[in-house]
A = this chain, B = another copy of it.
Amino acid sequence: MVRMQLDLALSYDVVAPGCDLILNIHAAQTPCQRVQEEQLSISQAIACEMFGDQLTGNRYARLRAEPGPLQINYSALIDIQHHVAAPESIGEVPVSRLPARVLHFIYPSRYCQSDRLLNLAIREFGHLWQGYGRVLAIQNWVRERVKFTPNTSNSHTSAIDTLIEQVGVCRDFAHLMIALCRALSIPARFVTGTDYGADPRLGPPDFHAYVEVFLDFRWYLFDPSGTALPMGLVRMGTGRDAADVAFATIFGSVNSLAPKILTQAIVDQTAGLVMPYHSSSALSTDEV
């Protein structure tokens, strides 16, 4: 088991009255991810409504901010229990046996236009053994082609753009990998967290986007940009693509500062709390 300490600080300057924010910065509550402690503080004396999504475990805070500075701090202590499996033992699930609630994740979405990639995906990956190894091949294909390059993409950039221009950040790697999986009828979804383990030369700690693929009736973790340590990922949002799980959706006029993020592993051998490490095993933190 890994135990992660998460500390986030978001800073805004709200320009006009009547500004709504929907935040998805709480760690998700799932059978494999337990939030042991958490604290949210908001610098303005405003109401904060919490609500959640049963299917995904996503948790949202909704607030209506007043003009002026707005500081939001979130801290949590989270235990994550990883399901570990040998890659060669993990097969794909045929469409005829996919659970109903998983089916949505084979359809195209805003940033993952899998419907346009059928020929390409079959050409590149159609001949491979249908299991974890094929998904790994997709991940490697994306990682070899796309160059991690900040400020080359924006909120409109989709998998097609990334495939063509071959640059992007974690979100773009994730979208392209998801689109290719779905083009092969392999369910794939978009997960957000923080980039624990990232090379400091890429910039200060930040939010992160990675991928889950449905194999052998579980959702397995993949980090196509390769910038974080998968075992240290704390799940915040799970959705079809970035359209579903922005950490902040803002309805109004706001100036934003860069978020401040700190993610630490709490190690205690006697309590069975290990340091996240790069593993060649397949990792999963969600069943269906």
Which A residues are within 8 Å of any B CB, using their own CB? 20, 22, 51-53, 60, 62, 64, 94-96, 100-101, 103-104, 107-110, 112-113, 115-117, 119-120, 123, 145, 147, 155-156, 160, 163-167, 185, 243-244, 251
Point out the residues of chain B lying under 8 angstroms from A117, CB to CB.
164
Smallest beta-carbon distance A16→chain B, Å: 14
Q: How far is the CA of A60 from the CA of B98 in the complex (A)?
A: 13
State the CA gap A123–B185 with chains docked (Å): 28
What's the nearest-Cβ distance from chain B to residue A274, in Å? 36
With A20-B96, A110-B113, A110-B115 already in contact, 8 other A-B pairs whose C-beta atoms are closer than 8 Å:
A20-B95, A107-B243, A107-B244, A108-B110, A110-B110, A115-B243, A116-B156, A163-B164
In the bound complex, residues from chain B placing their C-beta under 8 Å from that of A52 are: 100
Least CB distance from A57 to B in Å reads 13
Say yes or no: B60 contacts A100, CB within 8 Å.
yes
Looking at chain A's contact residues, the main secondary structure is: mixed
* In the bound complex, CA of A109 to CA of B107 (Å): 11
Name 8 interchain pairs, CB-CB below 8 A, sorted by A: A22-B103, A107-B110, A107-B244, A110-B110, A116-B164, A119-B165, A120-B166, A123-B145
**A177 vs B53: C-alpha distance when bound (angstroms):** 27
Complex CA–CA separation, A103 to B251 (angstroms)? 13
Contacts of A103 in B (CB 8 A): 22, 60
Shortest Cβ gap from A48 to chain B (Å): 11
A52 to B104, CA, bound (A): 12
A49, closest chain B residue (CB): B96
Q: How many copies does the complex hold?
A: 4
Provide the residues of chain B in CB contact with A145, threshold 8 Å: 120, 123
Q: Give bound CA distance, A199 to B112, whole Å.
A: 36
**Residues in B whose Cβ lies below 8 Å from that of A95:** 20, 22, 251
Docked Cα-Cα span, A116 to B164, in Å, equals 7
| Cα(A165)–Cα(B109), bound, Å | 17
Interface centre among A100, A113, A244 (most CB of B within 10 A): A100
Interchain residue pairs A-B with the least CB separation, the first 3: A119-B166, A51-B100, A107-B243
Complex Cα–Cα for A20 and B98 (A): 11
Q: How far is the CB of A103 from chain B (nearest CB, A)?
A: 7
Q: CB distance A167 to B119 under 8 Å?
A: yes
Given contacts A96-B64, A110-B108, A145-B123, contact A156 B51 (CB under 8 A): no
